[in-house]
């Protein structure tokens, strides 16, 4: 852990002047406490820039939980997998870090930990249903569906369990309750899984237990979304790397990347960088699909970031790399390292890739990577108008978009021609067949940062994705970005900001260009920055308003 992260974890955004000294004292006390209970005082060691603590399955329950879930994926059968996952879940006792007051940890670490538990619980319920244990799993499903109403998979499992235990009316009532809540609170309809389940119940179809699918990692069919924990997919010869749905544009980038990756000699390393939501992962997966035939040894994808934006540890990512020595005659391989947080995460992995071609995506340019290993960097900009139109047509339907060409252009403009925002807008149109493109564009234009979000998945939310990028910045860079967002679009951004700060924002993917030309902030990011400032001011002012209201109530209350 870096010292700066630990300072924020303990004191949030307002550390005292003596914070670093106080942190050293805290570490010293921990070491003494460990020694008192027979644990080595060197468990916490100082390293350049921070501290490191060694843990294993004997000393940290989270390590044991992840080990058990990892072993479950290679279990001999569903029964053994279920046993191991149940054992892993038994380690959880209430909300994690419930007695820790850190706002940073409560906002960042706790949701990520809870997501890990919920994914395992979903898998357990799948296995129980496949085994026909519908009555036994109902207690887990009732609690999970009530506590996590937006997580539709729990609701699907609950409805299926009710139906298969002969409670058809309760199953349909559960579906309608969820449908009404989603429409009233979020303005969306249930997902396709729930709708198919309702139709099957209305038709009185037999939902006999089916063998559960084996635990799997992400595939390119899931792109551009990533798994929440470190997991890799290897596409062996004979399997297909699926294209990204409705991918549009980037022809010159794809051709250049394909030529570099399949070159007979020279560095076969490509870095795709750019702003958050600009389509880096989608381009990487699409390119992997198009060049797969050139890699008889297979295509492997290694996610280096979790959906909450936190980086996967280098050690965890290294364990996911394919073993080149395991099948030396397999032929050339392609490895996709997706979502790198920086060169520090990529450089230790490259020696283990051997002679494979490597495709890396990152918000950062990773200059240190290409400077030491060669290769090419593709810095992505927003889609051109024709490309944005093609993406919308591919997702929503060519006829529907062609019927309102001007409105489609306006919708693309509202989305800033960012692929992430365009996919979110398309999702809203697809779930509302009667909504015109013009009305959708007008509605989104009223408050783009808030309305460009799909409640089912934080990875399809502009506030979440851009918020993660902003949170990853040091406080001074975060404030500089927000100051730049307040400036006019035609204003020289280098005025009143140092070049060092601007260069760091370029490296973080939140600013474009630079010397010798002017620095440039995407209009869409500018809108988000201004929304973020307004939201922060409102949040800060809210307690004062509440206090004033309370004081007024006390004064005016009868005595």
3-state SS record for 308-351: CCCECCHHHHHHHCCCCCCCCCCCCCEEEEEEECCHHHHCCCHH
pTM score, whole prediction:
0.57
Residue whose token pair is 């990487």: 284
Work out the end-to-end distance of the chain between its first and last CA atoms, rounded to an integer number of angstroms: 55
Q: SS3 helix, strand, coil % of the chain, rounded to 5?
A: 55, 10, 35
Do residues 546 and 480 lie in contact, with contact meaning Cβ atoms separated by under 8 Å?
A: no
Give CA torsion, residues 407, 411, 412, 415, to 10 deg.
Answer: 170
Say if residues 233 and 240 touch (Cβ distance below 8 Å).
no
| CB-based contact 220:281 (threshold 8 Å) | no
Q: How far apart are CA 288 and CA 290, in angstroms?
A: 5
> 3-state DSSP call for residue 418?
coil
Q: Calculate the alpha carbon distances from 7 to 4, 42, 47, 311, 475 in Å.
A: 5, 21, 16, 19, 12
Q: How far apart are CA 550 and CA 547, in angstroms?
A: 5
Name, in order, each residue with C-beta under 8 angstroms of 465's C-beta and a sequence gap of 6 or more: 276, 277, 420, 459
DSSP-based three-state secondary structure for 53: strand
In terms of Cα–Cα distance, which of 222, 229, 216 is closest to 316?
229
The DSSP bridge partners found for residue 512 are 520
Would strands 299-303 and 357-362 be described as parallel, antiparallel, or unpaired? Answer: unpaired
| Tokens of residue 513, six digits | 């260009």
pLDDT of residue 457: 65
Question: What's the pLDDT at 238?
Answer: 44
CA distances from 267 to 106, 254, 370, 374, 376 (A): 43, 17, 9, 6, 9
| Whole-angstrom distance, CA of residue 312 vs CA of residue 230 | 6
Q: What pLDDT, on a 0 to 100 scale, did the predictor assign at position 245?
A: 83
Would you tell me how many other CB atoms lie within 10 Å of the CB of residue 523? 13
Instruction: Judge contact between 422 and 388, C-beta under 8 A.
Output: yes
| Burial of 486 from C-beta contacts in 10 A (0-12 / 13-18 / 19+) | exposed
The dihedral through the CA atoms of 117, 119, 120, 121 has a sign that is positive
Q: At 360, give phi and psi (nearest 5°).
A: -115, 135
Q: What angle do CA 483, 488, 491 make, to 5 degrees?
A: 95
Q: What are the 10-residue block averages of pLDDT along the chain, 559 residues in total? A: 86 84 90 82 80 82 87 80 88 85 84 87 88 83 83 88 87 88 82 84 72 42 36 51 84 94 88 93 92 88 79 83 67 90 90 90 90 92 94 91 94 94 90 90 90 76 87 86 85 78 87 77 90 71 44 35
Report the alpha-carbon distance of residue 224 to residue 243 in Å, rounded. Answer: 11
Q: Give the DSSP H/E element, type plus range, for residue 140.
A: helix 134-147
Pairing of strands 233-235, 519-520: unpaired
3-state SS, residue 225: coil
């Amino acid at each position: 852990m870096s010292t700066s992260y630990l300072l924020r974890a303990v004191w949030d955004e307002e550390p005292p002047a003596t914070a670093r000294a106080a942190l050293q004292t805290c570490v010293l006390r921990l070491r003494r406490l460990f020694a008192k209970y027979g644990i080595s005082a060197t468990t916490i060691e100082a390293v350049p820039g921070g501290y490191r603590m060694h843990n294993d399955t004997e000393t940290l329950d989270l390590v044991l939980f992840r080990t058990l879930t990892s072993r479950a994926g290679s279990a001999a059968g569903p029964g053994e997998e279920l046993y191991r996952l149940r054992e892993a879940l038994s380690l959880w006792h209430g909300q994690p870090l419930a007695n820790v007051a850190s706002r940073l940890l409560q906002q960042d670490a706790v949701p990520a930990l809870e997501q890990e538990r919920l994914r395992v619980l979903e898998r357990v319920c799948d296995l129980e249903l496949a085994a026909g244990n519908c009555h036994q799993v109902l207690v887990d499903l009732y609690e999970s569906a009530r506590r996590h109403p937006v997580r539709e998979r729990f609701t699907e499992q609950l409805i299926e369990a009710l139906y298969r235990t002969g409670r058809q009316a309760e199953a349909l009532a559960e579906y309608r309750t969820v449908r009404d809540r989603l429409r009233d609170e979020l303005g969306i309809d249930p997902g396709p899984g729930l709708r198919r389940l309702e139709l099957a119940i209305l038709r009185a179809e037999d939902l006999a237990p089916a063998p559960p699918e084996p635990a799997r990692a992400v595939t390119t069919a899931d792109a551009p979304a990533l798994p929440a924990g470190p997991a890799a997919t290897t596409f062996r010869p004979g399997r297909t790397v699926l294209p990204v749905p409705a991918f549009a544009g980037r022809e010159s980038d794809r051709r250049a990347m394909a030529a570099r990756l399949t070159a007979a000699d020279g560095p076969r390393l490509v870095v795709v960088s750019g702003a958050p939501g600009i389509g880096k992962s989608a381009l990487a997966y699409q390119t992997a699909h198009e060049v797969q035939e050139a890699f008889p040894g297979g295509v492997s994808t290694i996610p280096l970031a979790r959906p909450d934006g936190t980086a996967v540890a280098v050690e965890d990512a290294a364990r996911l790399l394919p073993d080149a020595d395991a099948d030396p005659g397999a032929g050339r391989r392609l490895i996709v390292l997706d979502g790198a947080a920086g060169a520090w995460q990529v450089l230790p992995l490259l020696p283990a890739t051997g002679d494979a071609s490597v495709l890396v995506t990152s918000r950062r340019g990773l200059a240190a990577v290409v400077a030491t290993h060669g290769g090419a960097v593709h810095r992505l900009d927003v889609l051109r108008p024709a490309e944005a139109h093609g993406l919308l047509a591919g997702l929503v339907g060519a006829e529907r978009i062609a019927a309102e060409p001007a409105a489609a252009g306006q919708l693309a403009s509202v989305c800033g021609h960012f692929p992430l925002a365009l996919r979110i807008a398309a999702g809203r149109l697809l779930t509302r067949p009667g909504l015109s493109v013009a009305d959708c564009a007008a509605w989104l234009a009223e408050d783009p940062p808030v309305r460009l979000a799909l409640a089912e998945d934080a990875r399809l939310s502009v506030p979440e994705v851009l918020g993660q990028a902003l949170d990853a910045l040091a406080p001074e860079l975060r404030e500089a970005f927000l100051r730049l967002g307040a400036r006019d679009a035609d204003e020289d951004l280098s005025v009143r900001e140092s070049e060092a700060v601007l260069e760091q924002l370029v490296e973080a993917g939140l600013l474009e260009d630079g010397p010798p030309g002017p620095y440039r902030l995407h209009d869409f990011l500018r809108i988000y920055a201004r929304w973020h400032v307004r939201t922060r001011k409102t949040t800060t002012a809210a307690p004062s308003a509440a206090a004033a209201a309370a004081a007024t109530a006390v004064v005016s209350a009868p005595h």
